[in-house]
Structure 1
């Protein structure tokens, strides 16, 4: 009896000690003045956003001032010609349209495919389900460079290598395991009564999925849309391979190479081009940020 009590005491002691430590830490934070906490958080935020501010500042400087002014964020005189040079001379207007087409179509294909796969995995039991999930998760550890050769070979056999269509198929045909698991986790929590009542009313699989389940998964759809948009918009390796012989099909990330010459690099023009390419990403994140948080919260909620 004594040994049992001793064992229980040893098991609960770390828990009680942890609670005391958390309580003391919470009391210490509550005693700090609000302005000190705000000052620390503001300093962390400025440190985090400084690289973006430096890039924005460099886009308004000439190439000499970019390095002569060191860490200064204020240009001596704003050089807006950098944006004109990036947009027209470096053909970023064409690269922007290529990127928009590839990204939008890829996002649509990924959302549809991952939503259906996540719905089946999250709502239905079938033979080999655990094996399928394990294989999907295992693909997360396969680097993109290891799969580029079969992807290019298949695309070339289809006659789509040097085209936006081939690029879209290559970008949307990956595993996208995170998106599938997000949908599966969300659909798993939806009450079964919704499906049962819809089945009684004569609704089939696709009707239930399209009219009931997919509208309920708007937070997950927003999350997957944002994540896929970011990965596709910033993709470099696959678009580079698919545009070797077609420079006119380059995306924004690949088009950055236009500022790198044999002997010199147009850093100011590159900063302006990078700023242009970030604007759509920032706008989309601002629009979908609430849904983005709700999507992750809903997917992991038990």
Structure 2
């Protein structure tokens, strides 16, 4: 009587059969598409960053070697004096200071204005809200060159044409529709209980916004910061107009004109100046790239 009861127990405790190992050739064939995609992506990355590498290489070459070396990225004898000429002789130290002042002030004004605009459009219902949104979106199709005349005329009337503050107001006074829409999409997905709890604690509009809602939108704030920083740092048209009679107020992008003469162009000096100009942008993007992706993903998901 004991034999029938012990047989199932032995069958239950028997170890499972080892899975059959796949042939090595099968695993290689299965990974082949991934390897092929990796090779293609590496090639695209190399093509994408080659202009930047060539610029850094040209900054270390003599003017003659820039043209004689062709596509070669390794200079025969690095000429570090190009950076000294760009920094001292071309006065890029002053241009860098001007650019830092204009960029950081513009970023601060754009963050405050666009975040509050996006918050009000996302959390409040009022008459004309859709009309305002439509007008904002319509400004995306207006070329920037069409607005330069009224901007310059207004700056002249206010006495702000040849000043850094006039440049800051002109650069930060645009619509910045993309930044407003990013904040709008992010604030729209936040629960309304957050505002209700803040109101119950006696918080007003500004306290609710700056202490409760804005800290939650840090990914979008990082994204808008990076976008505004890039556009302001590389701005050329407005800074050029605002510094016609004040060369000492030039920004880095406008200062590149110092290397262009009537009969020749100092390409190695310009490459050194461009390298100096791009290094802060590259470092900022490396620091904020994670928040940039999170801010775009969060706003789009909503």
TM-score in terms of structure 2 length: 0.89
1:55-92 deviation line (CA, Å, top 9, x unaligned): 01000001111011111101110000000000000000
Task: Give the C-alpha shift of residue 280 in structure 1.
Answer: 0.5
CA distance in 1, matches of 2:90, 2:252: 10
Give the whole-Å Cα distance in 1 for the aligned partners of 2:244 and 2:30: 59
Aligned to 2:161, the other structure's residue is in SS state coil
Cα deviation, 1:213-247, whole Å, max 9, x if unaligned, reads 00000000000000000000000000000000000
Distance 1:181 1:34 in 2: 37
How far, CA to CA, are the matches of 1:40 and 1:203 in structure 2? 55
Counterpart position of 1:46:
46
Unaligned segments of structure 1, at least 5 residues: 1-28
Q: Which has the larger radius of gyration?
A: 2
How far apart are the structure 2 equivalents of 1:97 and 1:172?
Answer: 18
Is 2:293 aligned against 1:293? yes
Counterpart position of 1:84: 84
Q: How many residues align?
A: 274
- Give, in angstroms, the shift of residue 38 of structure 1: 2.3
Give the drift of 1:202: 1.2
What is the match of residue 254 of structure 2? Answer: 254
User: 1:31 deviation in Å?
Assistant: 5.0
How does 1:154-169 map onto structure 2 within 5 Å? 154-169=154-169
2:188 counterpart residue number:
188
Secondary structure of 2:71's aligned partner: coil
Structure 2 residue aligned with 1:206: 206
RMSD: 1.1
Deviations 1:164-207, CA, capped at 9 Å, x for gaps: 00000000000000000000000000000111111111111111
Q: Equivalent residue for 2:63? A: 63
How far, CA to CA, are the matches of 1:242 and 1:195 in structure 2? 43
Which residue does 1:146 correspond to in 2?
Answer: 146
The separation in 1 between residues aligned to 2:126 and 2:67, in whole angstroms, is 61
The corresponding residue for 1:106 is: 106
Determine the structure 2 residue equivalent to 1:266: 266
Q: Which residue number corresponds to residue 280 of structure 2?
A: 280
2:126 maps to which residue?
126
Alpha-carbon shift at residue 36 of structure 1 (Å): 3.2
1-side partners of 2:266 and 2:178: how far apart? 37
For 2:38 and 2:181, the matched residues in 1 are separated by 37
Report the alpha carbon displacement of residue 35 of structure 1 after superposing the two structures with TM. 3.5
Partner of 1:18: none
- Number of the residue aligned with 2:8: none
Structure 1 segments of 4 or more deviating over 4 A?
A: none
The answer for the alignment partner of 2:3 in structure 1 is none
Q: Distance in 2 between matches of 1:137 and 1:207?
A: 29
